[in-house]
Amino acid sequence: MTTNPDNQQQSFFLNMGPQHPSTHGVLRVLLEMDGEYVRDAEPVIGYGHRMQEKLGESRTWKGFMPYTARLDYIGALPCSHGFIGLIERMTGIEAPPRAEYIRVITSELNRIASHLLWLGAFLLDLGAFTPIMYTFDDREQILDILEDVTGSRLTYCYFRVGGVSRDIDEPFVEKTHAFIRRLRSRFKLYEDLVTGNIIFIKRVQDIVQFTPDMAMRYGVTGPILRSTGICYDIRKNEPYSVYPEFDFEIPVGETGDCLEVYRVRMREMEQSLRIIEQALDRLPQGPVLAKTPRQLKLPQGDASFAVETARGELSYYLISDGGETPYRLKIRTPSFSNLSLLSELTRNVLLSDLVMVLGTLDLVIPEIDR
C-alpha cells in the first residue's frame, strides 16, 4: 500500500492468481489498484514451468515429439506440425502429398476446436453461461472426429517425419463434411446469441484498444494483431505445407478493440471450414508416410520453422552439432508475446475489464512457461 504526504491511501496491491478462474491456468498477475481501477498489471510467470526447451535438448527429436502437444494443449496439432516441419527441413525429407493434405485438415479442425473453447470460456468469464454449452457441443464433434484417426482427444502425437501415422478413411471424410454443414448452420445461432447481443457489445466494445504500434513493439501475432488492421498470417505470408493450394481469406479488423478480436476469430472459423472443405474435395491418393532411415540423425547446422496456431506465430529454432540430441532448441510462442502487452494495455481500466482483456488474449499458460 502506498500513501501520499497527508497519509491518505492512494493505491494498494492485489494478487490475481496464481489460482484464479479467469487466468485458465497458474498465471499470477500482480495488480496495483486505485480503488477499482488498475494502475499497473504485472504478469508473474513460472508457476507452471515444465522446461520444454531443455527437454528438447536432452532427448532425441523423436523422443521430444509428444511434448510438442503439451505446449498448446488446446491446439496441439499445429504445434506438432511446426516441429515436424523443422525436422523435415533439416533432413530434406518430404511428406507425400496426401499426408500434407491430412495435416492441414486435422490442424484446421484443431484450430476451430481451439476457437470454440475460447469463445465459450471468454463469455463465461464475462458472466454468460449459456454459450459455453453450445460451443462445447460443437467442439465435442471435432474431438470425436480427431479421436477416430489420432487415438486422442486433446494432446495428439499423430504427425510423423515424412507424413502421418495413420491414413484417414471414408467415414472420417463423411463425418468431417457433416461437421462442416453443422457448424455453418450454427453461425446464425452464435450471431443471434452473442454477436448481436447489445449487452455483449457494450461489455467489450471500446474498453481497450490494440494498436499496430503496440503489436509491433511487443511482437504480437495472431487474431490480436489482425484485429488492428495488419493482415499477417504465416499460412499466407510465409506459406508452408500445402496451404498455397487453397483459396481462403485472412480476416482483418479495423478498430482493434476486444469486440473486433471476437469478430476476427469468428470469421477465422469460417475460413478454416473453407480450407478443410477444399482439402477433402482435392484429397490425393497415395501413401501417407515416406520411407525414412531407421536411425535418423540431424545433420550439423541450424534451421527454423514457423506455423500459424490459433493464437499466432509459433516458431522453432534448432541448432544441431550432429549428435543424437539438439545442441539448442528455442521455441517462440504467441501467448508469451501477447501477454507482454498486458501492463500497458490495461492501465486505468476497471478490475472487471482486466478479466475481459485476459480472456481476449486467449492465453495458454504452458505455452508461456516453456
Alpha-carbon distance of 65 to 155, in angstroms, equals: 11
Confidence (pLDDT) at 369: 83
Q: Are 348 and 37 in contact (CB under 8 A)?
A: yes
106 contacts 158 by C-beta, under 8 angstroms: yes
Distance, in Å, from the CA atom of 53 to the CA atom of 328, rounded to the nearest integer, reads 8
Place of cell 515444465: 50
Asked if residues 109 and 274 have their Cβ atoms less than 8 Å apart, the reply is no
Chain segment 150-197, per-residue pLDDT in tens: 999 999 999 999 999 999 999 999 999 999 999 999 999 999 999 999
Q: How confident is the model at residue 2 (pLDDT cuts 50, 70, 90)?
A: low
> Does 21 score more than 80 pLDDT?
no
At residue 5 the predicted structure's pLDDT band, cuts being 50, 70 and 90, is low
Residue 118 pLDDT = 96
All cell numbers assigned to 174: 463423411
Could you tell me which residues are beta bridge partners of residue 308?
313
1.10.645.10, 3.20.20.70, 3.40.50.720, 3.30.450.20: CATH of 50-338+349-368:
1.10.645.10
pLDDT tens across 102-118, in order? 999 999 999 999 999 99
pLDDT the model gives residue 139: 97
Query: Which phi and psi angles does 59 have, rounded to 5°?
Result: -130, 155
Rounded to 10 degrees, the C-alpha dihedral 293/298/300/305 comes to 130
pTM of structure: 0.94
Neighbours of 154 (CB within 10 A): 14
Determine which of 15-19, 163-167, 211-215, 235-239 has the lowest per-residue pLDDT on average: 15-19
pLDDT of residue 8: 57
How, if at all, do strands 163-164 and 9-16 pair? unpaired
Percent of the residues in the chain that have a pLDDT greater than 70, as a whole number: 98
DSSP H or E stretch at residue 357: helix 351-361
Contact 160, 150 (CB under 8 A): no
